[in-house]
Structure 1
Amino acid sequence: MFNFEALAVSTGLVALSEIGDKTQLLALLLAARFRKPAPIVLGILVATLANHAAASALGAFIQSQVPVQWLRWALAASFFAVSLWTLKPDEIDDDDAPPSHSALGVFGITVVAFFLAEMGDKTQIATVMLAAKYASLVTVTTGTTLGMMLANVPAVFLGDKAVKFVPLAWVRRIAAVVFAVLGVLVLLGLGL
């Protein structure tokens, strides 16, 4: 079932959260290292769809198994926790950097690197929470994937030039406020 609110919230929340996130830094690194935007963008899309579909499925499962009164409290606490987490800037360690060459090619390196980088990341956790909040697995997956692409595709094509013009501290603060507002709305029983 299509839910416009789920699509809009999922897209906007992930797009905001992704700015300055480690996966956006990974997109910049891949673009600088390989200078082949098409396979990088396609790799980001495939990895994000796979990762966020699994996260949405988990969120839908949680929604089906947890009583509504407990789900409300757990979701609100999760939104507040991710709100605080969003305020912490991400970094890429040398261990996280993708290899300079591989038999997988640029597309394969991107798929593997992005899929692994998203494991346990705040956007993956947000996807689980959004799928638990909205009863629309496909819409949440579509929205979170679209949000990821909106944040990362410009990073691939513009490189670090785009990041220099965006005040990352303010973007993190806005994303934190949006997560906190969602937590309050869930506590008030709106949308759940």
Structure 2
Amino acid sequence: MAFIKTLFLVLIAEMGDKTQLLAAALASKYKVRDAAIGIFIATILLNVIAVLLGSSIGNLIPMKLIQIIAGVLFIAFGIMTLKEDDEDEEEVKETKLKLPNFVTVALAFFLAELGDKTQIMAFTLAAQLKSPVSVLIGAVIGMFIADSLGFLFGSYIGSKIPENYIKLVAGFVFIIFGLSTLYSLLNIAVFLLITITVGIMVYFVKFKKDS
């Protein structure tokens, strides 16, 4: 019963969530296999944290701080994606240390989902139903099914659109996710300052040389 209830609730909560759009963006940039493996790894880690640690993580590190860090890192990931589009491919191969694609996907997805409503829901259900294993399995499967729809759609789009446009869209998606995360956590003046700074960085990284 705990498994079915968790799977259903997490699946419904994840449908239309920002991480579904992220899954589509990641799958449009990377192979479906890498996107699937990365998202599956991140999903397991996220739900293990939710079920095993739950509210304890809030006593160790404030969730607000975790979300702020995640937002900043997401913006950085987006800017790097935009910059990568303009770098010479051969130079990148020679000088840039790259993580395996599935690791990059897992990291991006983990940061986006950390502290999100579905992770909090998994913790709540584990506390209520007193069945952590069933809740963990249900949450992992429910989240993965929902986000699989996203990366299958992203893979289809990726086969139809040139790679440079995909990277451009993906970069802005990551930046928007980061800014939307920070919007509800920071003072409006600080948020506007960060937004302006990010805009200037994007201009110099992506558009200045074209002007």
**Same-fold call, TM cutoff 0.5:** yes
Q: Is the 8 A contact 1:28 1:155 kept in 2?
A: yes
Q: 1:106 aligns with which of 94, 101, 109?
A: 101
1:53 counterpart = 2:48: yes
Q: Is the 8 A contact 2:26 2:154 kept in 1?
A: no
Q: Which residue of 1 aligns with 2:34?
A: 39
Give the CA deviation at 1:60: 8.9
Q: 1:136 aligns with which of 131, 149, 152?
A: 131
1:95 counterpart = 2:90: no
Q: Is the 8 A contact 1:60 1:132 kept in 2?
A: no
Q: Specify the code of the residue in structure 2 equivalent to 1:135.
A: K
Give the CA deviation at 1:136: 1.3
Counterparts of 1:13-32 in structure 2, within 5 Å, are 13-32=9-28
Give the CA deviation at 1:105: 2.5
Q: Specify the code of the residue in structure 2 equivalent to 1:155.
A: G
CA–CA distance in 1 between the matches of 2:98 and 2:37? 17
Normalised to the residue count of structure 2, the TM-score between the two structures is: 0.54
Name structure 2 gaps, 5 residues minimum: 58-73, 85-96, 158-211
Larger-Rg structure:
2
Give the CA deviation at 1:119: 1.1
Q: Is the 8 A contact 2:28 2:156 kept in 1?
A: no
Give the CA deviation at 1:160: 8.9
In structure 2, relative to structure 1, the CA distance for the partners of 1:161 and 1:105 (3 Å cut) is: closer
1:64-106, Cα deviation, whole Å (9 max, x unpaired): xxxxxxxxxxxxxxxxxxxxxxxxxxxxxx8276554671132
1:115 counterpart = 2:110: yes
Q: Is the 8 A contact 2:14 2:146 kept in 1?
A: yes
CA–CA distance in 2 between the matches of 1:158 and 1:26? 11
Q: Which residue of 2 aligns with 1:126?
A: 121
How high is the sequence identity, in percent, across the aligned residues? 38
Give the CA deviation at 1:159: 2.9
1:9 counterpart = 2:13: no
CA–CA distance in 1 between the matches of 2:139 and 2:132? 11
Give the CA deviation at 1:58: 2.6
Q: Specify the code of the residue in structure 1 equivalent to 2:3.
A: L
CA–CA distance in 2 between the matches of 1:52 and 1:142? 9
Q: Is the 8 A contact 2:38 2:105 kept in 1?
A: yes
CA–CA distance in 1 between the matches of 2:77 and 2:14? 18
Q: Specify the code of the residue in structure 2 equivalent to 1:147.
A: G
CA–CA distance in 2 between the matches of 1:111 and 1:11? 21
Give the CA deviation at 1:142: 0.6
Give the CA deviation at 1:59: 4.0
CA–CA distance in 1 between the matches of 2:99 and 2:117? 27
Q: Secondary structure at the match of 2:102?
A: helix
In structure 2, relative to structure 1, the CA distance for the partners of 1:59 and 1:132 (3 Å cut) is: farther
